[in-house]
Amino acid sequence: MVLGSFASISGVSSSEELSGINKIALEEGKGRNIVIGYQVSNKSINQGTRNARQPLFAELGELDKRTRGYGLFTAVHYYTKDPETTLPDLEKVVASGVRPHGAFVQFNTLPLPVETLRKVRDMGFQVIFKVAVSNKQSPAGGYAVWKGEGVNAELIRKYIQNQGRKGEQLKLFDFV
């Protein structure tokens, strides 16, 4: 599935907000290429924590069903500090009722190993790459590939080199 141009609305946390977005889209006659981003994290999945921009994890499957019923597209915006939790967490997202085929997953996290990305794609999700994560800890502000002290271009290069890929660098189109 390729959408081409689309609008993404992130931080939707309830059926009421989703309904309001759909109503506005219908009234304004906007195209149906609207992606609704539901923010989830390792903690919200496994510990039940949430913030105002996250839906209750128990309601995620129903939100996906309603999103598709409106003719919109679901995106799971996933965050974790530990890349090893990615696949088990996404399996829980699917078990909650989110259908991966026709849904997107956006990783707001450290760059993941290529093999993990392949497995996510094999689950049925389309992957949206997001590399700019706000670095709120930096007094200078701005964006970094991930949050934290000491993040710089050299660290990122070393991370990529240590992913085990030898030879030619892969391109994003290698994953679609």
pLDDT in tens, 117-156: 999 999 999 988 655 444 455 455 444 444 445 555 565 5
| CA dist., res. 13 & res. 40, Å (int) | 10
pLDDT in tens, 12-63: 999 999 999 888 888 776 656 788 999 999 999 999 888 889 999 999 999 9
pTM confidence score: 0.73
Q: Are strands 34-41 and 73-79 parallel, antiparallel or unpaired?
A: parallel
The second-level CATH assignment, the architecture, of 7-130 is 3-Layer(aba) Sandwich (3.40)
Comparing 24 with 168, the larger pLDDT belongs to: 24
| 34 within 8 A of 5, measured Cβ to Cβ | no
| Domains of the chain by residue range | 7-130, 131-176
Look-up of token digits 């240590």: 162
